[in-house]
Amino acid sequence: MIPAAFEYYRPTDMDGVLAILAEHGDDARVLAGGHSLIPMMKLRMAEVPHLIDLQDVGGLKGITVEGGTIRLGAMTTQTEIIGSDTLTAAAPILREASLQIADPQVRYMGTIGGNVANGDPGNDMPGLMQCLDATFHLIGPDGTRYVAARDFYEAAYMTDREDDEVLTAVSFDQPVGGYAYEKQKRKIGDYATAAAAVQIVKEGGKCTSASIAMTNLSDTPIYSQEAGAALVGTVVDDAAMDAAVAAMLGDIDPTEDNRGPIEFKRHVASLILRRAIARAWSRA
């Protein structure tokens, strides 16, 4: 399992990155933690003649919570997310989800930017970002543009990001209410059989808003607007849950793999969502 040879660059600023991207087009790729890209390169399933390491590029790290907005620099690692008390106080769902990703060593290297930019339907952060209605900050030759996480994913490994763009940060409004990230997997180190991200707001005993996104149940993460809507205005009783689950099932499109056949995945998706809603509601 040895990758093909490549040219390696370690620019120290974004201009440097963009220049290399401009020069080599889709022959160039950026490298963050490398824990999705390097395994693919080792299997020679990804060929990257020009590899641009982002580790020394300034301004890509860090977590800020300001004026109700949370911003995570693209190079923030999962370990840093888990370890940030500020972030955990502001948006505890990030820690809960991150702890369910891979293992300690992988979390030390894996970044939020790589996780959302990768486009692998197995990644957990994209669904979470959709749940939080996050915005992705992309910088390219023409400057910065902002794309909603909910509009970003097109198909497996296909995103709205152009080859000459770099994701610099994700940001989202500080979530309110209850939260839960539920994930079923076969073992530590496995991607989800099914996972659900839920944020719920409760006012006067009723749900006033709910956001639901599912992971690894389609070729993109699935933000199920209708599932969330099904909870709004209810006391999140069985009927409301049934409706939310039914709506979610209408949105996902899982495929069979070693984690199981389609019917099983749909079943687990329902269950996971029920549990996530219940837990989020109990915390709301």
Partner 1 sequence: MKDDITREDRVDALGGMGCKRKRVEDARFTQGKGNYVDDIKLPGMLFGDFVRSPYAHARITSINKEAALAIDGVVAVLTAEDLAPLGLHWMPTLAGDKQMVLADGKVLFQGQEVAFIVAKDRYVAADAVEMLDVQYEELPVITDPYEALQSDVVLREDLDTNVPGAHGPRKHHNHIFTWEVGDEPATNQVMDDAEVVAEESMYYHRTHPCPLETCGSVASMDKINGKLTLWGTFQAPHVVRTVASMLSGIEEHNIRVVSPDIGGGFGNKVGVYPGYICSIVASIVTGKPVKWVEDRMENLMSTAFARDYWMKGKISATKDGKITGLHCHVTADHGAFDACADPTKFPAGFMNICTGSYDIPVAYLGVDGVYTNKAPGGVSYRCSFRVTEAVYFIERMIEVLAIKLNMDSAELRRINFIRKDQFPYKAALGWEYDSGDYHTAWDKALKAVDYDGLRAEQAQRVEDFKAGKTRKLMGVGLSFFTEIVGAGPVKNCDILGMGMFDSCEIRIHPTGSAIARLGTISQGQGHATTFAQILATEIGLPADSITIEEGDTDTAPYGLGTYGSRSTPVAGAATALAGRKIRAKAQMIAAYLLEVHDSDVEFDVDRFTVKGAPEKFKTMKEIAYAAYNQAIPGLEPGLEAVSYYDPPNMTYPFGAYVCVMDVDVDTGVTDIRRFYALDDCGTRINPMIIDGQIHGGLTEALAVALGQEIAYDKQGNVKTGTLMDFFLPTAWEVPNYETDFTVTPSPHHPIGAKGVGESPHVGGVPCFSNAVNDAFRAFGLTHTNMPHDHWRIWKTANALGLHD
Partner 2 sequence: MSNKMHIKLTVNGEAHEFLAEPRELLIHTLRERLDITGPHIGCETTHCGACTVTMNGKSVKSCTVFVAQANGADLTTIEGIGDPDNLHALQTSFKEHHGLQCGFCTPGMITRAAKFLEENPNPTEEDVRFGMAGNLCRCTGYQNIVKAILATADELNAAKEAAE
For residue 254, give both structure tokens.
Answer: 């899982």
Q: What burial letters (b/e) apply to 152-184, b meaning 16+ CB within 10 Å?
A: bbeeeeebebeebbbbbbbbbeebbbbbbbbbb
Instruction: Tell me the β-bridge partners of 192.
Output: none
- In whole angstroms, the minimum distance from the beta carbon of 194 to ligand FAD comes to 12
Long-range contacts of the stretch 47-52 (C-beta < 8 A, 24+):
47/4, 48/6, 49/6, 49/7, 49/24, 50/6, 50/7, 50/9, 50/20, 50/24, 51/6, 51/7, 51/8, 51/9, 52/9, 52/10, 52/11, 52/17, 52/20, 52/21, 52/28
Interface mask toward ligand FAD for 189-228; x: CB under 6 A = x-x-------------------------------------
Spatial contact of 57 and 13, defined as CB atoms under 8 Å apart: yes
- Among positions 253, 267, 278, 283, the unique one binding partner 1 when judged by CB under 8 A: 267
Q: Please, what sign has the CA dihedral across residues 56, 57, 58, 63? A: negative
- Among positions 11, 27, 55, 147, the unique one binding partner 2 when judged by CB under 8 A: 55
Given the rule CB under 6 A, which of 27-35, 128-136, 200-208, 244-252 is the region that contacts ligand FAD? 27-35
Cα–Cα distance between 259 and 194 in angstroms, integer? 9
Q: Which is nearer to partner 1, 4 or 235 (CB)?
A: 4
- Residue 259: contacted member of partner 2, partner 1, ligand FAD, none (CB under 5 to 8 Å, by partner type): partner 1
- In whole angstroms, the minimum distance from the beta carbon of 78 to ligand FAD comes to 6
Interface mask toward partner 1 for 92-131; x: CB under 8 A = -----------x----------------------------
- Among positions 54, 201, 231, 268, the unique one binding partner 1 when judged by CB under 8 A: 268
DSSP code at position 26: G
Cα–Cα distance between 227 and 213 in angstroms, integer? 9
Q: Please, what sign has the CA dihedral across residues 215, 218, 221, 227? A: negative
- In whole angstroms, the minimum distance from the beta carbon of 30 to partner 2 comes to 12
- In whole angstroms, the minimum distance from the beta carbon of 31 to partner 2 comes to 7
Stretch 122-151 residues interacting with ligand FAD (CB under 6 A) = 123-125
Residue 195 lies near partner 2 (rule: CB under 8 A): no
Given the rule CB under 8 A, which of 16-24, 59-67, 103-111, 144-152 is the region that contacts partner 2? 103-111
User: Contact residues for partner 2 (CB under 8 A)?
Assistant: 1-8, 10, 31, 34-35, 38-39, 41-42, 51, 53, 55, 79, 102-106, 108-109, 188-189
